[in-house]
Structure 1
Amino acid sequence: MIATPTSRNSLWRTIRPIGAAALHGIAFVDRKLIAIDTIKGHLLEIDLANDNTTIINPHATAEFIDATGIALWEDTLWLTRENTVYCCQLGDFKLQEFVSLPHPANGVAVWQNTVYVTCQKMGDILIFDRQTKRQITQFYAPGVGVENITVRDEELWVCDTTEQSVYCLERATGNIKFSVLTPFAFPTGLAFYRDQAGETLYVAYADEEAYIRDNPNAEPSHELTYRDRTFVHPLDYHYNPTEHFALSNGYLLEMIYTEEIAPLEDVSALQQVEWRIALPAETDRQKVKHIEPVGLPFTEEVVEGQRVAVFKFDSLQPSERHIFGWKALVEVRGIKYRLIPRDVENLPDLSPEFQARYLVDDDELAMDQLVVRRAAKEAVGTETNLLRKVYKIRNYVYDELSYGIKPHIDTPDVVLDRGIGSCGEYVGVLLALLRLNGIACRTIGRYKCPAYAEQQGVPLQPDFNHVWLEFYVPGLDKWLPMESNPDDVGENGPYPSRFFMGLAWYHIEIGKGISFETVTSKGLPLEEISLGDIAINHIRFTIVKELLPE
């Protein structure tokens, strides 16, 4: 029996079934969580309150190995395995073939006399009549990865492993109502839990994690290896149709950014120094709760609508040492904007102010170079719709570039010739091609919190800084985010769209359209000395807690 929770919040926890290797499809029956372990073939009954785990098909596990989706309708269990959809009586486990597909069947859901089956290879959701086994129709799958599915009343809910997303579709038409980013990667199954207090959407995840193993037979004894990682976590979501976005799970983060004055070699004394560092922004998904100085006090300025901390020094001598910066407490959530090409037809022209600020080469974008201008033309072809143009430019850049870390950022013409770019170089190419096509855009970002949502209260250091961009939709007066390179996950696509008009909870928005950090001496920018020559930055994140649903 599942323990009765004392409050709704007591169910808001990560469920880690004992002995599970890779959970895929999940379902609920009589307030019990049922899940399939695709590696072991175990059909599990899991206690939501304490992770207690029972194998309910102990004599039929072999038949359930490689099963990837399950559904329950009345007393019948449905599952997908390889190319076939099966059904059986719950407790009997004698599988009966329902239908076979030409490609692997990934997920299954059942609602009355209708059976829904996802198939990545076909790129569709197939709909069958439960009595006749005939296919009624099919819908386009919303993402590009392996998908699982469940039904809630008049809605289909689909999770996609590659897209790191959950989609809400109209059950009658297959049209997407909205989508949300999941707080963890590789979602593999989903189901709604209902009780007297309401309902909660649970999502299963399955992948591998790297860890350091202490091997006494090796020298050195510590070695890198991998282990299965699978769990179930509730998904919080809030859809705002008026503003065209949906929010998902949120976290309270503490971010510390500091500079340590430590010159690489003796430099001349600097007089009347003003050191500016941008502060976290207020956005639809990010709320700044508190900011305080670290090491030295600062004053605050507003630059183009962005908050900036200003540290002032009468002089900086070569022998001086300081640590200074800021600490911010920030609430962050996943966000996914939902706009379709029809929403951006017949847009007004950009204002002269926006044209002067966001359509110009103000950051060594090589917009006058032939290779860049040719790429801008090739990327969009004859397309005129703003949203389709942005999407085509993104995919063109992904086709032309592969990701690689560089010690410095080259201009877009050099990057396009080379075919390899860092995140900053991806951004430069995207900015150039968008602006040459009349699309206002600007940079954003700087850092991402390490995406370890379960490691709360532990200091975390990001390995690199990170940059992405925003593009502007006139008429709607909206800046929409677009990642630089993380969705470029394969050669020649199809590319996921998880971060096209979307950001995960671990993106920290700092300094929209302005420089993250600048130093002036006597009112003039430093020209012959880079920041890296005189200071070392220290960045630390702490995930304080997950935000409970409102």
Structure 2
Amino acid sequence: MSFALLGLTANKMFGQKIIRPLSASAIYGITFIKDTLIAIDQRKGFLLEIDPLSNNTKILNPHQVQEFTDVTGICLWEDTLWVTRKNSVYSCKLNSLALEHFMTLPYPADGIAVWGSTIYVSCQKLGGILIFDSNSRKQITQFYAPGVGVENLAVSEETLWVCDRTEQSVYAIDRATGEIQFSVLTPFESPTGIAVHTNSESAEKTLYIAYASEEAYVRDNPNADPSQEIAYRDKTFIHPLNYYYDPQKRFALSNGYRIEMSYLEEIAPLEEVHITDLEWHIALPSDTDRQKVISVESIGLPFTEQITDGQRVAVFKFDTLTPGERHIFGWKAILEVRGIKYRITPREVENIPELTEEFQTRYLVDNDDLSMDKGIVIRAARDAIGTETNLLRKMYNIRNYVYDQLSYGIKPYIDTPDVVLERGVGSCGEYVGVLLALCRLNGIACRTVGRYKCPNTAERQNVPLEPEFNHVWLEFYIPGFGWLPMESNPDDLGYESAHPTRFFMGLCWYHIEIGKGISFESMISQSVKLKKEDIAIGDLAINHIRFTILDELPPL
């Protein structure tokens, strides 16, 4: 795999270390003075000077805390500090910190970046990034905001960097035209600030992202019985964002992790059975542009490996499985996984080739109880795309239609798309079923992908982690480009406004791709008893899934 690194590489001095400012509650805007990090604690109003190596923290504005409370964006140009606070933009000299009013917007000003005499201000309510001249204080132009959430800004040379809190993304924008060059997913949720650090010795540049949210924890309360209770606390830190962009394949990779994943079955039948000539198939992790399988080994019992529709599958064989017999068996894999985000525009798919006959036969048919012949599903497929003919826009419209029609809810079994559409509530698997049905009825080849997500706690390394649920999403096919990922339900946030697109043609590092387009697990036997009673895997065994995040990957 070859990649073109555009502009920013890992900073050797700071490394991959997470910066955790002492006493900070909610870091928003960040900027650098040489190797010193400057950050604003939006809730406390502290303008903080932070040593990235030691986390040592100093308050720079001990007498102006009230004036800096609710500041969300900061940036430095020469000796002038620029800030956004509520609806206004201010500037001040670093040696005095006396804020001077620059201009006021009709809505809150979120983030700010300055390059020379040009000032960039993001405003979610206006849906754009406003550009001003610092000398005349007049607006020069306006760019469309690349995401739907609150955005913060940084600028370096010809690139305007935009981090979007809801989209969990950073966009690289041409600061002259506003055109999006590419975007990358951040490894953590809720990015609230962004800055570019330039190494004083090597001139290498590194993006740093601030994050601010809350986390739940178990609190020991001696005045309660029982003493353990759930509480919430602030969570804020700063972390380097590494990215690699491949313009030929049209995707960008971001921070990744080396993960150990184990999947095993424990024979524990609800009712004792006797089965002969049993083959137990369990799909293995896939090698993809964002996921590399370093090693796979068996657990409990040995397996042979076979290829099914291009996917690796572990095959465990039992000559006889008798009543009272117990086994554990499965696999353990070491994986390297990264975030990936594709950048393909509708214009690029205007003149794509037709689907091959093989793809039409495999990926445009109802081969998984998709209810594609039911009236409610046929009407939904028609209503979802309207008069749209562009494949990428059709896919985007179908996704949004399903998000508008469904709300997320967990169930112990999967209903067919007609039942799900009628009910209006679905699990991730039911979202996938509806999406598959509507896509295939509209001539878009698609397939199911999954099967698990590593718990999204990248800072908890070398600690065994267990996911609460399995998970599935899908891939859709664009002739001439290939298979592209799309999440099932996480982008359906239930808002009335536009849905985020962070996982539309993108996956974060914690998605583990296993068995693309094939069954994750199945049993095959010549036993007549097995065929008659149709024993479900869940009635015969209990699965155990464990993840361990070993370390963060270095830049490629």
CA contact (8 A) 1:182 1:334 kept: yes
Equivalent position amino acid for 1:71 in 2: C
1:432 and 2:437 correspond: yes
State how far apart, in whole Å, the 2-side matches of 1:153 and 1:490 are.
38
CA contact (8 A) 1:448 1:508 kept: yes
Q: Residues 154-173 of structure 1: matches in 2 within 5 Å?
A: 154-173=158-177
Q: Percent identity?
A: 66
Residue number among 256, 264, 268 corresponding to 2:270 in the alignment = 264
After superposition, give the CA deviation of every residue in 1:396-455 in whole Å (9 maximum; x if it has no partner): 000000000011000000000000000000000000000000000000011000000000
Residue number among 342, 347, 357 corresponding to 2:347 in the alignment = 342
Q: Residues 133-144 of structure 1: matches in 2 within 5 Å?
A: 133-144=137-148
Shift of 1:167: 0.5
- Where 1:430 maps in the other structure, the secondary structure is helix
Shift of 1:347: 1.2
Corresponding residue of 1:533 = 539
Residue number among 108, 112, 117 corresponding to 1:108 in the alignment = 112
Corresponding residue of 1:4 = none
State how far apart, in whole Å, the 2-side matches of 1:161 and 1:10 are.
24
State how far apart, in whole Å, the 2-side matches of 1:274 and 1:297 are.
12
Corresponding residue of 1:219 = 225
Shift of 1:475: 2.0
State how far apart, in whole Å, the 2-side matches of 1:82 and 1:99 are.
11
Distance 1:116 1:523, change over 3 A: farther
1:206 and 2:190 correspond: no
CA contact (8 A) 2:163 2:191 kept: yes
CA contact (8 A) 2:34 2:198 kept: no
State how far apart, in whole Å, the 2-side matches of 1:381 and 1:348 are.
22
Shift of 1:12: 2.3
- Where 1:461 maps in the other structure, the secondary structure is coil
Corresponding residue of 1:447 = 452
1:61 and 2:65 correspond: yes
Corresponding residue of 2:378 = 373
State how far apart, in whole Å, the 2-side matches of 1:377 and 1:59 are.
62
Corresponding residue of 2:4 = none
| Structure 1 alignment gaps of length 5 or more | 1-6
Q: Residues 124-139 of structure 1: matches in 2 within 5 Å?
A: 124-139=128-143
Corresponding residue of 1:186 = 190
Corresponding residue of 1:393 = 398
State how far apart, in whole Å, the 1-side matches of 2:97 and 2:302 are.
68
State how far apart, in whole Å, the 1-side matches of 2:259 and 2:498 are.
33
- Where 2:236 maps in the other structure, the secondary structure is strand
1:462 and 2:470 correspond: no
Corresponding residue of 1:14 = 18
Residue number among 222, 227, 235 corresponding to 1:229 in the alignment = 235
State how far apart, in whole Å, the 1-side matches of 2:15 and 2:289 are.
27
Residue number among 419, 422, 440 corresponding to 1:417 in the alignment = 422
CA contact (8 A) 2:276 2:527 kept: no
Corresponding residue of 2:40 = 36
Residue number among 319, 323, 326 corresponding to 1:318 in the alignment = 323
CA contact (8 A) 1:399 1:491 kept: no
After superposition, give the CA deviation of every residue in 1:297-348 in whole Å (9 maximum; x if it has no partner): 0000000000000000001112111000000000000000000001101111
Normalising to structure 1: TM-score of the pair?
0.97
Shift of 1:276: 0.2
CA contact (8 A) 1:22 1:229 kept: yes
Is the deviation greater in 24-33 or in 285-294?
A: 24-33
CA contact (8 A) 1:398 1:492 kept: no
Residue number among 70, 75, 88 corresponding to 2:74 in the alignment = 70
- Where 2:436 maps in the other structure, the secondary structure is helix
Shift of 1:30: 2.5
Corresponding residue of 1:384 = 389
After superposition, give the CA deviation of every residue in 1:5-32 in whole Å (9 maximum; x if it has no partner): xx91643200000000000000001221
State how far apart, in whole Å, the 2-side matches of 1:414 and 1:490 are.
21
- Where 2:440 maps in the other structure, the secondary structure is helix
Corresponding residue of 1:332 = 337
Q: Residues 39-50 of structure 1: matches in 2 within 5 Å?
A: 39-50=43-54
State how far apart, in whole Å, the 2-side matches of 1:337 and 1:318 are.
51
Residue number among 501, 514, 517 corresponding to 2:518 in the alignment = 514
State how far apart, in whole Å, the 2-side matches of 1:449 and 1:12 are.
20
Equivalent position amino acid for 1:54 in 2: K
- Where 2:498 maps in the other structure, the secondary structure is coil
Corresponding residue of 1:3 = none
Corresponding residue of 1:543 = 549
CA contact (8 A) 1:9 1:548 kept: no
- Where 1:333 maps in the other structure, the secondary structure is strand
- Where 2:398 maps in the other structure, the secondary structure is helix
Shift of 1:491: 3.5
State how far apart, in whole Å, the 2-side matches of 1:424 and 1:493 are.
24
Q: Residues 82-93 of structure 1: matches in 2 within 5 Å?
A: 82-93=86-97
State how far apart, in whole Å, the 1-side matches of 2:183 and 2:357 are.
35
After superposition, give the CA deviation of every residue in 1:170-210 in whole Å (9 maximum; x if it has no partner): 01111100000000000001111111231211100000000
Distance 1:181 1:375, change over 3 A: same
Equivalent position amino acid for 2:325 in 1: E
State how far apart, in whole Å, the 1-side matches of 2:527 and 2:312 are.
19
After superposition, give the CA deviation of every residue in 1:205-228 in whole Å (9 maximum; x if it has no partner): 000000011111111111101000
Moved over 6 A (4+): none
- Where 1:271 maps in the other structure, the secondary structure is strand
Shift of 1:91: 2.3
CA contact (8 A) 1:11 1:49 kept: no
After superposition, give the CA deviation of every residue in 1:349-376 in whole Å (9 maximum; x if it has no partner): 1101000000000000000000000000
Cα-Cα RMSD: 1.1
Corresponding residue of 2:502 = 498
State how far apart, in whole Å, the 2-side matches of 1:432 and 1:205 are.
38
- Where 1:218 maps in the other structure, the secondary structure is coil
Shift of 1:493: 3.3
Normalising to structure 2: TM-score of the pair?
0.96
State how far apart, in whole Å, the 1-side matches of 2:235 and 2:440 are.
43
CA contact (8 A) 1:11 1:48 kept: no
CA contact (8 A) 2:14 2:52 kept: no
Shift of 1:490: 1.7
State how far apart, in whole Å, the 1-side matches of 2:423 and 2:142 are.
43
Is the deviation greater in 270-279 or in 340-349?
A: 340-349
- Where 2:153 maps in the other structure, the secondary structure is strand
State how far apart, in whole Å, the 1-side matches of 2:261 and 2:196 are.
34
Equivalent position amino acid for 1:236 in 2: N
CA contact (8 A) 2:340 2:506 kept: yes
Q: How many residues align?
A: 542
Residue number among 299, 308, 311 corresponding to 2:313 in the alignment = 308
Residue number among 96, 101, 104 corresponding to 2:100 in the alignment = 96
